[in-house]
Structure 1
Amino acid sequence: MKIHHISENNSILNKFISEIRDVQVQKDAMRFRRNIERIGEIISYELSKELSYNIEKITTPLGSKDIALFEKDVVICSILRAGLPLHQGILNYFDHAESAFISAYRYHPNNDADFDIKVEYFASPSLEGKTLILADPMLATGQSLVAVYEAIKRYGTPKKIHLASVIASADGINFIKDKFGSNADLWIATIDDKLNDKGYIVPGLGDAGDLAFGPKQ
């Protein structure tokens, strides 16, 4: 799996990352969602460089011009509910893409730190032979992405998979490397070194779903 760590090179991306981490700025849920959306747009721009392109002739009022345009075979699949703002940012750039949505959450059967990943809902077009962008803002342990990938395989085999996340842990990246293999690229805005004993990214930013949409029961 090829890893694209976007914030390795300084850019305006740093500002958006700083604001989604900042405990004071986080209090504005609308700004938090917008910053995740902006990060999705930046990831999309970088990711677009790796897509397949065809030459198309475009007619202008004064003539015509051959322009390389990417193939319109993209499906964006986001993990509910935290993935919705990231999904919108990606969709802003890939506005001809199809959309898929899947639910995945941590289930603690013994009310302790151990958990399983429950996948209960999936709505998707066929993925056969298409370019799949699988979006989840937080790549912590990596178990959610793997569970989701296993669940969606029956909808077809994508020709290419792009994983898009805002913050990843080094452990999570190492966990998914072998699970996705050479057919997948990971596009990550920034990487943190550690997970705590509950499997959350440190320093991270907290619960992205709660920050975007409010606390859940």
Structure 2
Amino acid sequence: MHIHNISQHNSILNTFISEIRDSNIQKDRMRFRRNIERIGEILGYEMSKFLNYEPINIKTPLGTSKINLPKNDIVLCSVLRAGVPLHNGLLNYFDTAENAFISAYRHHKHNPESFEIIVEYLACPDLENKTLVLADPMLATGQSLVATFEALKPFGKPKEVHLISVIGAQEGIGFVESHFDEKTHLWIAAIDEKLNEKGYIVPGLGDAGDLAFGEKLQQ
């Protein structure tokens, strides 16, 4: 798998990452969502450099201009609910893309430190021979990305797959790397050192879904 850690090089991305991590700034839900959206725009821009392009002639009022435009048939698929702001950021740049949405959550049975990933809701177009962009802001254990990708398989085999995450842990990246094709690309804004005993990223930022949309009742 090709791993693109965008924060390895200093850019304005650092500002947005710092603000979504900051325990005081992140209390502003609107600002948190907007920062996730802006990170999605940056990751989408970086990803666009690896798409396929073809030359197109554009007629202007004064003549003709040749420009290379992407020709990929893109499907943006986000993991609900935390993935919505990230999805919006990607959609800002790939506004003609088709869209898919899938729910995935941790279900704790008896031990709060162990869980399984439950996929319930899924809406998806045909994926056959298309470019699948699978977005999940927090790549912790990696189980959510693997489970959602498995759930998408009945919709066709994508030509290529790009994974988009905001923050990931080394352990989760290793898990994903072992379950996806070696040609898969991972675009990520920051990579953290470890997971805690409950499978959350440290230092991370907390629960991205709660920070974006408010705390949920636990079942």
TM-score w.r.t. structure 1 length?
Answer: 0.99
Q: Which residue of 1 aligns with 2:14?
A: 14
Secondary structure of the corresponding residue to residue 146 of structure 2: helix
Contact 1:168–1:192 at 8 Å: present in 2 too?
yes
Q: Tell me if 1:167 matches 2:170.
A: no
Higher mean alpha-carbon deviation, 15-24 vs 176-185, is at 176-185
Deviation of 1:145 (Å): 0.3
Count of matched residue positions in the alignment of Structure 1 and Structure 2? 217
Give me the whole-angstrom Cα distance separating, in 1, the residues matched to 2:154 and 2:54.
29
Q: Which residue of 1 aligns with 2:24?
A: 24
Give me the whole-angstrom Cα distance separating, in 2, the residues matched to 1:97 and 1:211.
27
Q: Tell me if 1:90 matches 2:90.
A: yes
Deviation of 1:95 (Å): 0.5
Give me the whole-angstrom Cα distance separating, in 1, the residues matched to 2:47 and 2:40.
10
Contact 1:163–1:186 at 8 Å: present in 2 too?
yes
Q: Which residue of 2 aligns with 1:41?
A: 41
Contact 1:72–1:97 at 8 Å: present in 2 too?
no
The one-letter code of the counterpart of 2:10 is N
Give me the whole-angstrom Cα distance separating, in 2, the residues matched to 1:142 and 1:175.
6
Identical aligned pairs, as a percentage? 65
Q: Which residue of 2 aligns with 1:151?
A: 151
Deviation digits for residues 91-127 of structure 1 (CA, Å, limit 9, x no counterpart): 0000110110000000011142110000001101100
Higher mean alpha-carbon deviation, 107-116 vs 41-50, is at 107-116
Q: Which residue of 2 aligns with 1:112?
A: 112
TM-score w.r.t. structure 2 length?
Answer: 0.98
Q: Tell me if 1:140 matches 2:147.
A: no
When the two chains are superposed, the root-mean-square deviation of aligned CA atoms in Å is 0.7
The one-letter code of the counterpart of 2:152 is I
The one-letter code of the counterpart of 1:215 is E
Q: Which residue of 1 aligns with 2:125?
A: 125
Secondary structure of the corresponding residue to residue 109 of structure 2: coil
Give me the whole-angstrom Cα distance separating, in 2, the residues matched to 1:105 and 1:157.
24
Give me the whole-angstrom Cα distance separating, in 2, the residues matched to 1:182 and 1:63.
44
Q: Which residue of 2 aligns with 1:55?
A: 55
Give me the whole-angstrom Cα distance separating, in 1, the residues matched to 2:183 and 2:157.
11
The one-letter code of the counterpart of 2:13 is L
Contact 1:170–1:194 at 8 Å: present in 2 too?
yes
The one-letter code of the counterpart of 1:107 is H
Contact 1:7–1:189 at 8 Å: present in 2 too?
yes
Deviation digits for residues 127-146 of structure 1 (CA, Å, limit 9, x no counterpart): 00000100000000000000
Any runs of at least 4 consecutive aligned residues in structure 1 with deviations exceeding 2 A, and if so which?
Answer: none
